[in-house]
Homo-oligomer: A and B are copies of this chain.
C-alpha cells in the first residue's frame, strides 16, 4: 500500500474508532508523520484529502482538530465509514435507501421528461442481464446514475456519486445475492420501461416511489435475523 493511502487509512480508522475523538487535536504533523512511517509532505497530502472530505479542521498555527464528521462532514465521509470501519452501522443501508426513496422519484420523473429515448435504450438492456448479483448491482448503479445525469439537475448526480464507492459493492454482496431482490428489480425495470414507452411520467414516478419504498422493506426482511 502506498504511503499516502496507508496514512489516510490509518487516520480514518483511528478517527472512526474514536482513538482520535471528535473535537480533539491530532498530534503535530512532525510527530504524526513519524508515527505513521511517512514523511511530512506525504502526510500533508493525506491531511488535505481528509480535510476536503470533512474529517478534519486544519488551521495555520493551531493544532489540527478532528471534526464532528457526522454532523459537519461531507458526503465523502461515508466512503471512509464503509471502507475503514470494522462493520457498518446497523442502519447504514436503510438510511441510504431512505434517501434514495426521497430522491429517486424526482430524478426519474425529470429524466423521463428530458430524455425518454436514452432511458428506453438503457432499460431495454436489462432483458439481457445475466441473473447474477454482480450483473444486477452493476446495472442498478448504471441505471440510477443515468437517471440522475439525465434529470438535468446536476445536484442529483453529485449526491448519488457520494455513494459511488460502495453502492455496487453493498448491492452485490448484501442485496442482489437474494433471488427475490433480483426478481423485484427485474420486474421494476420492465414495468418502468413500459411506462416510459407509454409516455406515462406520473405512473413511472409513482412506480419508482413504490419500488424504492419496497426495497427498504425487502432489505429489512432479508436482514432481520442476520
Contact = CB atoms under 8 A, between A and B. Distances in A.
A77 B158 contact: yes
Interface stretch (A96-104, A183-191, A193-201): A96-104
A154 to B, nearest CB: 5
Number of copies: 2
A149 B164 CA distance: 23
A24 B99 CA distance: 34
Contact of A159 (B45, B48, B159): B159
A21 interface: no
A73 B106 CA distance: 20
Interface in A88-110: 91, 95-96, 98-99, 102-103, 106
A99 B103 CA distance: 7
Contacts of A53: 52
B51 A161 contact: no
Interface string A95-133: 110110011001000000000000000000000000000
A158 to B, nearest CB: 5
Interface string A37-66: 000010011101101111000000000000
Nearest to A44: B45
Interface of A: 41, 44-46, 48-49, 51-54, 70-78, 91, 95-96, 98-99, 102-103, 106, 149, 153-159, 161-162, 164
5 contacts: A48-B48, A73-B158, A75-B159, A78-B158, A102-B103
